[in-house]
Structures are given as structure tokens and as C-alpha cells.
């Protein structure tokens, strides 16, 4: 994959994730996308500098146009899936760039997980089972207090450890 394609794809990804981050109405999604946006922005700069350095300072033309989308339900998760797929296919690069790819892939995987927590199924509030006639505060007040023994922690450690084995001289 050419340096230009790598850098411009990361630039596009950063812009698209930022749009989703700003347009979502879910706080959890906003936070997850914000973290991914920050990671992609940092990675774009680091990848570009490292790739240009690995090519003896040869700077690619980065002139391009991006086709960006507005947020709609499910688009952010779908976009993250596509980004993970793209990152997973990157190979044949200097080891330092592959290490940066792995770091960004880990962040994308974490974002996938966080976005899965914000699905419709998890939005429904689960009701706690109620115990008739007993309030949680009453249960806590009735719990017997545990008595503490006045032993030194060092004494307990020494009592629990077996004696050291004899090491034969060399």
C-alpha cells in the first residue's frame, strides 16, 4: 500500500469519526468515538512522519477529496467495522509502522466493544428484583459487624510461609 493511500485514508477516517462523534445524541457513543478520533488524529501524524522518514524524506502529494457522511443510527459501528477490516489487511510495511497499526487496531477493537454496549437491547433498563418488606438500607444496618483481630501483617505472612529450603554451596 502506498504512503499516500495510508495517510489519506487515516485523514478520511479521522474526519468521518469526528463527524459521527459530533452528531450522535448518545453520550456513550460520543465518548467512545471521541477517544477513537483522538487516536486516529495522533496516528495520522505519527504514521505520516514515520512513513516519510522511511522513504528518505520523500513527501507524497496528499491532494484528495473525501466523501463524508452524516451520522445515522448504526453508521458509526458499521464504519468502525470497515476501519478494523482495512487496518487488518495492512501488511508489508516497516515494523515500526506495523506496531503503530497494531496500537490503532487495538483502539478500534475497544471502540467496537464500547459501541456494542450502547445498543438498543442494553438501553432497556433492567429492573432489580424486589424483596418484599426489606429495604437495602435495613439489610445493611442489620448485618453483624466483623471483629478485627489485632495481628501484625508481618506476623501473618511469616506464619503462612514455609521455611526456606537449604541451598547447597557451589
Digits of tens for pLDDT over the chain (170 positions)?
A: 899 999 999 999 999 999 999 999 999 999 999 999 999 999 999 999 999 999 999 999 999 999 999 999 999 999 999 999 999 999 999 999 999 999 999 999 999 999 999 665 544 544 444 545 545 445 445 555 555 555 555 555 555 555 555 545 55
Q: What total of structural domains would you count in the chain?
A: 1
The pLDDT tens digits for 109-125 are 999 999 999 665 544 54
Look up the domain containing 52 and give its range. 3-57+68-118
CA pair distance 8, 66, nearest whole angstrom: 9
CA pair distance 50, 56, nearest whole angstrom: 10
Q: Is residue 146 part of a domain?
A: no
Instruction: Tell me what pLDDT residue 120 has.
Output: 55
**Which cell goes with 45?**
501524524
**Which cell goes with 95?**
515494523
SS3 90: coil
Instruction: Tell me what pLDDT residue 24 has.
Output: 97
pTM (2 d.p.): 0.69
Q: Is residue 38 part of a domain?
A: yes
CA pair distance 144, 131, nearest whole angstrom: 20
Asked if 10 and 47 count as a contact pair (C-beta separation under 8 A), the reply is yes
Instruction: Tell me what pLDDT residue 131 has.
Output: 46
**Which cell goes with 108?**
478500534
Instruction: Tell me what pLDDT residue 29 has.
Output: 97
Q: Is residue 168 part of a domain?
A: no
Q: Is residue 125 part of a domain?
A: no
Q: Is residue 138 part of a domain?
A: no
Instruction: Give the closest residue to 76 by CA, choosing from 16, 161, 138.
Output: 16
CA pair distance 90, 79, nearest whole angstrom: 17
Q: Is residue 22 part of a domain?
A: yes
Amino acid at each position: 500500500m502506498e504512503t499516500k493511500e495510508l495517510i489519506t485514508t487515516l485523514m478520511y477516517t479521522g474526519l468521518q469519526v469526528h463527524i459521527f462523534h459530533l452528531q450522535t445524541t448518545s453520550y456513550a457513543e460520543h465518548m467512545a468515538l471521541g477517544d477513537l478520533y483522538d487516536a486516529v488524529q495522533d496516528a495520522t501524524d505519527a504514521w505520516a512522519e514515520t512513513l516519510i522518514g522511511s522513504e528518505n524524506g520523500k513527501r507524497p502529494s496528499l491532494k484528495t477529496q473525501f466523501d463524508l457522511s452524516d451520522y445515522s443510527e448504526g453508521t458509526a459501528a458499521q464504519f468502525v467495522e470497515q476501519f478494523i477490516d482495512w487496518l487488518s489487511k495492512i501488511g508489508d510495511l516497516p515494523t515500526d509502522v506495523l506496531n503503530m497499526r497494531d496500537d490503532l487496531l487495538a483502539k478500534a477493537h475497544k471502540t467496537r466493544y464500547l459501541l456494542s454496549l450502547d445498543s438498543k437491547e442494553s438501553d432497556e433498563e433492567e429492573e432489580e428484583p424486589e424483596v418484599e418488606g426489606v429495604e437495602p438500607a435495613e439489610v445493611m444496618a442489620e448485618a453483624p459487624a466483623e471483629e478485627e483481630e489485632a495481628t501484625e501483617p508481618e506476623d501473618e505472612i511469616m506464619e503462612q510461609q514455609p521455611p526456606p529450603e537449604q541451598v547447597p554451596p557451589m
